[in-house]
Amino acid sequence: MTKTVHVLNGPNLNLLGSREPETYGTQTLADIEAQLAAICEAHGAALIFRQSNHEGELVTWIQEAGKAREPIIINAGAYSHTSIALIDAIKGTNAKVIEVHLSNIHARESFRHHSFISGAARGIIMGFGALGYELALTAILSEMAKSES
């Protein structure tokens, strides 16, 4: 059975590389996807990598992965701070989630300090830029390997 990892990205992450590079870095979302795809391939895992500016689409993807019992790395962007629907989808399907933020949300504006997703996440990685995705993927692949042995 192929191991599948879902990486879900929220609003405005399609602008990575050009949007506030001093905060979010210069790597594009395509760069991040390529790095994660190479890591997954080396570990015999499949990668489903998606981005949407629409909350409902993210909810559907969380539900799909959660029902399939496949792990999720999520950078919900601004929806982290506003979306009850995303947390309900995570809890409703018992989705296994690692939350990623490119920047340290606690070092930014106060409205970014709270994330609804954090309360249901297996772990949270923030402040390491695009490396945060790789750290989350490493954690997931490590847990998958342990469960196979």
Query: Exposed, middle or buried by CB within 10 Å (0-12, 13-18, 19+), for 70?
Result: middle
Q: Which residues are CB-neighbours of 123 under 8 A, at least 6 positions away? A: 98, 99, 136, 139
Q: Is 101 a catalytic residue?
A: yes
What tokens were used for 56?
């409902």
CB 67 within 8 A of CB 13: no
Q: Of 101, 106, 113, 114, which residue is the catalytic one?
A: 101
Q: Of 6, 24, 79, 133, which residue is the catalytic one?
A: 24
Please count the other Cβ atoms lying within 10 Å of the Cβ belonging to residue 13. 21
List residues with catalytic annotation.
24, 101
